Amino acid sequence: MVPGITAALGCAASLRQPLTQRGSHRAITLLTGASEDGTAEHDWDALVRSGATLAVYMGVRAAGHVGRSLLAAGADAATPVTVVENGTLEEELSVDTNLAALASGLRDYGIEGPALLLIGAPEAATRPEAPRDGSRLSEPFPTDSDAAHAAWLKVLP
């Protein structure tokens, strides 16, 4: 956990996942997947038109609804999605998939939450390679000690 940092930024940093990229991904939108009476409704058309990376909080139960809504608004089915469960914690788990698979929900991935959905983020050159088919990435960031974190950070350009 990183005090004072929103989960979207903490999860992205932990995964070494950029959220913006000059020339293609110029914005990020933070939104909730849940509301008091179920799934949150958003202007899905505007979100798709914006081209922004989407960070959906409380997205586990709403994953299917979010995926179907974005597809209905014209989003590309191959849009990359990263689901981050228990982000920035020792038991962090991430699953890479795509919008078409997200539309059918997360039950096949064993994700129970809390989890964040990162939708449409640019590809990360330094991130461990994993197919976007639900394969799991393990230990995306050193977790054994502060010294390991410091040593790892020193190698960043």
What distances in angstroms separate CA 25 from CA 90, 121, 125, 126, one per listed residue? 29, 7, 15, 17
Mean pLDDT over the full length of the chain: 80
**Given this model, what pLDDT does residue 28 score?**
93
Residue-wise pLDDT tens digits, 56-98: 999 888 899 999 999 999 999 999 999 999 998 888 999 999 9
Comparing 101 with 23, the larger pLDDT belongs to 101
Mention the CATH class of domain 7-154: alpha beta
What is the side-by-side strand order in the sheet with 136-137?
A: 28-32, 53-57, 115-119, 80-85, 93-98, 136-137
**Who contacts 58 (Cβ-Cβ below 8 Å, separation ≥6)?**
32, 33, 34, 113, 114
pLDDT in the model for residue 84: 93
What pLDDT score was predicted for residue 157? 45
Rounded to two decimals, the pTM is 0.76
Most confident residue range from 19-28, 41-50, 84-93: 41-50
Distance CA 72, CA 66 (A): 10
Task: Report the percentage of the chain scoring pLDDT > 90.
Answer: 39
Report the pLDDT value the prediction gives residue 55, as an integer from 0 to 100. 96
Q: Is pLDDT above 80 for 142?
A: no
Residue spans per domain, the chain: 7-154
Which pLDDT does position 141 carry in this prediction? 46
**For residues 125 and 106, what is the distance between their CA atoms, to the nearest angstrom?**
26
The pLDDT-based confidence of 130 (bands split at 50, 70, 90) is very low
